[in-house]
Amino acid sequence: MQTKKEEIRQTILEAAQREFLIHGYEGSSMRTIAKKANTTIGNIYHYFPNKEAILEILMEEPIRSIHKVIDNHMAEQKRIYSYDELKEALDGIEDIIEESDLFYLMDERMIILFDLKTTRFVEVREWFVKACKQHLAWHMGTEDEDSAYVDIITDMFIASVRHVLMEHKNVEQSKKEFCKVFRMLCAGLISNRQEE
């Protein structure tokens, strides 16, 4: 009996995730989630007190992933690398990304997080974006994390992650495409460093 209850709960979570991805959290309703999960709205409330409780469960792992990226990758601002070191790193970017925590971002639930307009997770997203800007400003050799260039490149990075996740449902394809996009962004940073 317990297995059946867990299956129903999981089906509700999967239906909610699909709805949140397609229509956004704010654009999804418990009624639609119930319909997609082939259950009643009353049954959903048996498992979850409200839509935000579903979101909380769906966001647990992506939030842990964001913390790993921030704590492990973005905290590594120990020294400024020379142009040659950066160019060499770019040549082996697939290995670097595979060994780093950036691939934690290859979870389609990140799209839900990027699109949120309400809930406490907006603060988490904003904290992540701010950390990205600080890290990017460090890479660019500037202390101005609010510069237009930092904003543009951060927006491009987030748009790239979003695109990769939307277009590639296969994790390996997502990783491969992410490496390609990340290489392009890094190439711009490296060429900027060379001009200095």
The total number of residues shown for the chain amounts to 196
Overall average pLDDT of the 1-10 stretch? 80
Q: Please give the pLDDT value at position 11.
A: 96
Gap between the Cα atoms of 24 and 20, Å rounded: 4
Q: What confidence score (pLDDT) does residue 190 get?
A: 61
pLDDT for 38 beyond 60? yes
Residue tagged 């999981």 (tokens):
10
| Percent of the residues in the chain that have a pLDDT greater than 70, as a whole number | 82
Query: What average pLDDT is seen over the chain?
Result: 83
Token representation of residue 65: 């992933």
Query: If you write DSSP's letter for every residue of 114-145 in order, what string do you get?
Result: HH--SSTHHHHHHHHHHHHHHHHHHHHT-S-T
- Can you say how many angstroms the Cα of residue 14 is from the centroid of all Cα atoms in its chain? 18
Structure tokens at 15: 């239906």
C-alpha–C-alpha distance, residues 163 and 177, integer Å: 9
Distance CA 152, CA 72 (A): 24
Q: What is the pLDDT of residue 194?
A: 53
Burial 8-31 (b: 16+ CB within 10 A, else e): bbeebbebbbebbbeeebeebebe
Give the model's pLDDT for residue 189. 64
Three-state secondary structure call for residue 1: coil
> Does residue 143 contact residue 137 with C-beta atoms inside 8 Å?
yes
Q: By CB neighbour count within 10 A (0-12 exposed, 13-18 middle, 19+ buried), where does 43 fall?
A: middle
CB burial of residue 192 (10 Å; 0-12, 13-18, 19+)? middle
Helix axes 148-167, 171-195, angle to 10 degrees: 160
